[in-house]
Amino acid sequence: MLLVRAAKAADLEGVHALALAAGPGMTTLKADRAALAARLALAEASFRQALSPAECDYVFVLEDTVQGRLAGIAAIKSAVGLDEPFYNYRIGALVHSAPSVGVYHRHEVLYMTHDLTGCAELCSLFLHPAYRSGSNGRLLSKSRFMFIAQFPHLFTQTVFAEMRGFQQPDGSSPFWEAIGRKFFQMDFQRADDLCQPGGKSYIAELMPRYPIYTSFLSEAARAVIGVTHADTLPARRLLEQEGLCASSYIDIFDGGPVLHAQLRDLRAVRDSVALRLGDAPPGASLSLICNTDMAGFRVMAAPVADQHALQCTTDCTIRVLGMV
């Protein structure tokens, strides 16, 4: 059986194995044992409600209870940018007009912003290739929304997710080549490797602060602004099913899109229902079912009648949402 649960420090070996399987390219899931151990300790403290919102990092693992191994990981950072700056480019417009000579030009412009400061970030989603079948990916990704629906007071009204941007087969990024490399003599993969906590903000501090006219960029760079990496498209579709949509923000490194939503518009917040386990209607349809214990949070995808893995008694409250 597969279930999603709150991560704990004892998951280090399994999480490290997942980070190794993920390989390069996931900024928030580097295969650094010390960093992963610190993050899991932070996650445990977050679930115990022992930290301020600026520090909370809710990490979830997908556990194969039969094989005794971890099959995936996902996380929610409750509020970004409160301890170090969080950067994005916002796509905007500037109009240059001279009516007397009949000239009017509307230019697309990139503005570096901190607009998402304080918002909750969905991140670190990775499902081991051996488990990419059935409803496993949906369970892992959507479990986070069940947590938000159960504990909305932990988050501000906006949630977002940065999508991995387009890369060439060799791992290079046309967007990075057009902007980032001009200010740092390093390739995209090297810059990405530096993105440990604090690293990305350090690089962003050295990026140009003035608006960037996209017409000055190469055609290849312009073509990938806001384009999602092919490998990330399935994850994007899952987020869109839950209510997230494209925004005017992109990643400062690879130009990947940022999806966002208001909490009230998330499907789980809007449509999930809380009920006593003993009152749960029988049925064979697949649902997302979670308990209401923060420290022992668990989510599974099953008919409501098959909820025994949540470790609830018949008078416990559960939350249920139909699976799509």
DSSP of 205-259, one letter per residue? Answer: HTS--S-EEGGGS-HHHHHTTTPBPGGGHHHHHHHHHTT-EEEEEE-TTT--EEE
How far apart CA 109 and CA 210 sit, in angstroms, is: 10
Both tokens assigned to 252: 């400062």
Both tokens assigned to 108: 């697309």
Task: Give the pLDDT of residue 170.
Answer: 87
Task: Give the pLDDT of residue 278.
Answer: 67
Q: How many residues does the chain have?
A: 324
CA-nearest of 57, 73, 66 to 13 is 73
Which one from 16, 105, 128, 229 is the annotated catalytic residue?
A: 229
Where does 52-87 show beta strands of DSSP type E?
57-64, 69-77
| Span 151-210, pLDDT tens digits | 999 999 999 999 999 999 988 899 999 998 988 878 887 877 776 655 566 677 778 888
**Contact criterion met (CB below 8 Å) for 125 and 73:** yes
Task: Give the pLDDT of residue 187.
Answer: 84
Helix H or strand E segment including 136: helix 136-150
How far apart CA 179 and CA 316 sit, in angstroms, is: 54
Cα angle 43, 45, 51; round to 5: 110
Q: What residues contact 97, with CB distance under 8 A and at least 6 apart? A: 103, 104, 105
Residue 323: HSE in the Cβ half-sphere, 13 Å Cα cutoff: 22
Task: Give the global pTM.
Answer: 0.91
Task: Give the pLDDT of residue 201.
Answer: 65
What is the separation of C-alpha 123 from the centre of its chain, rounded to a whole number of angstroms? 2
Please say if 229 is a catalytic residue: yes
* CB atoms inside a 10 Å sphere around CB 103: 9
Q: Which residue has the tokens 């796509």?
A: 91
**Contact criterion met (CB below 8 Å) for 70 and 13:** no
Could you say which residues of the chain have pLDDT below 70? 25, 195-202, 278-284, 304-309, 311-315
Q: What share of the chain is helix, strand, coil (3-state, %, to 5)?
A: 35, 30, 35
Exposed, middle or buried by CB within 10 Å (0-12, 13-18, 19+), for 244? buried
Exposed, middle or buried by CB within 10 Å (0-12, 13-18, 19+), for 268? buried
Eight-state DSSP code of residue 168: -
Q: What residues contact 146, with CB distance under 8 A and at least 6 apart? A: 268, 272, 288, 290, 299, 319, 321
- DSSP secondary structure of 173-199: -HHHHHTHHHHSSS-HHHHHHT-STTH
What is the separation of C-alpha 45 from the centre of its chain, rounded to a whole number of angstroms? 20
Both tokens assigned to 131: 């488990």
Task: Give the pLDDT of residue 217.
Answer: 96
Helix H or strand E segment including 292: none
